[in-house]
Structure 1
Amino acid sequence: MKFPVAIIFFLMALVVANTETSLFRIPYYYDIPYSHLPVAYTPGFIKRLNSSTSLINSYPIGDKLTFSTLSNEQQTISLHYDMVNKPQERLLVKLNNYNNTLFDSNDLINVKLCWPATLPFDFSISHEFIQRYELTGYNELVENTLDIYIVIDYKANFVTCTSNLPDTLRFNLFVNKLPNKLVPIPLELYDYVVYLVDLLILIGPAVPAVASHLFY
């Protein structure tokens, strides 16, 4: 009886959400712009740049210390979308190094996007370096910085016989700095990996003795 139940839970997990991920490294030569830390994170304000591109200028970045403190609401994005005509659209999410404390050169940034499997969409994630003036226009009072933007391209991929469809697309976006610059261990698994490594260090010396009793 346990085996069929396990299969049911496995299939339910597949239906709950789809996931798209991207991993990139902050270049060694990149001069990271300074960003002031906001008083409190709120769901990102979405600015419409043109008919197909939107922009979020402030978005939370998790690390080993803050990962568990960020709420699901803070990492949920709602976009207006025409489900009938299903256009190809793009969202830019600015990567801010708040108070010069969130990331540094050579750090690994992991981006994970999750959306309901009941909503058939094609997503792709990448990143680009874009000058601020390219998005905001020239302003002598604002410094023209070269910023990193997470680029999310999306398009509905379904056929329906009704026009009575929602006009909002909701998904979760998780942006995290990984704790290790060399090994890309996701923050969700980091504590387990550290525990396993410590366990292996403890039992490692006893393995030869146990093996000698078992096989000789």
Structure 2
Amino acid sequence: MTPEDSTIAALAGALAARTFTEPPHDPGLPRAAVAVLLRPGPEGLELLLIRRAEREGDPWSGHVALPGGREQAEDAGPAATAARETHEEVGIDVAAGGRLLGAVEPVWPQSSRAPRIAVRPFVFAVPADAEAVPNEEVDAAVWVPVHELLHPGAVTEFLFEMEGVEPMRFPAFDARGYVVWGLTHRILTTFLGIYAQVVDAAGE
């Protein structure tokens, strides 16, 4: 078993042991699911980030994010939503050689100015040869070694500026020049905390 295989197995165990609060029940609250994709790479496990295409009217236009999207009635559940959207957006079929490791705490916007939506993140392990082929909804896709996101040098801030509103600073990650903030930052902060505990426990 490789070190990456050991980490993935430990992550699955750690995720299975977690409990968390589901989003408030609200039939009118849109729901989405995203995928934290992990694959073995030259520097250990890598995580896939995408940059969404610039689209008028899209509140997340141009944001750096995780592959995913809104739940559809035909989806078997939120994990199936994350898998379907991942296949559509970056061409990676997690059902073909991939493995669902577990879920991370759901998130929803804290600002009253942000669209109302609950987002469920799911962690998947995929083969080392998994390659992202972005569709028209995605401008770019990049695999980032997880250890780089854990490095203190990855911590930064994002300055949000909008006409008529006082500029606001948000915590962010610098992922090889891609600035990750907002809901994706919150998801990754939780995931990276779990990952770090797993690695520390293994003495890696």
What is the TM-score of this pair, normalised by structure 1? 0.24
Bigger RCO (CA 8 Å, 6+ sep): 1
| Larger Rg over CA atoms | 1
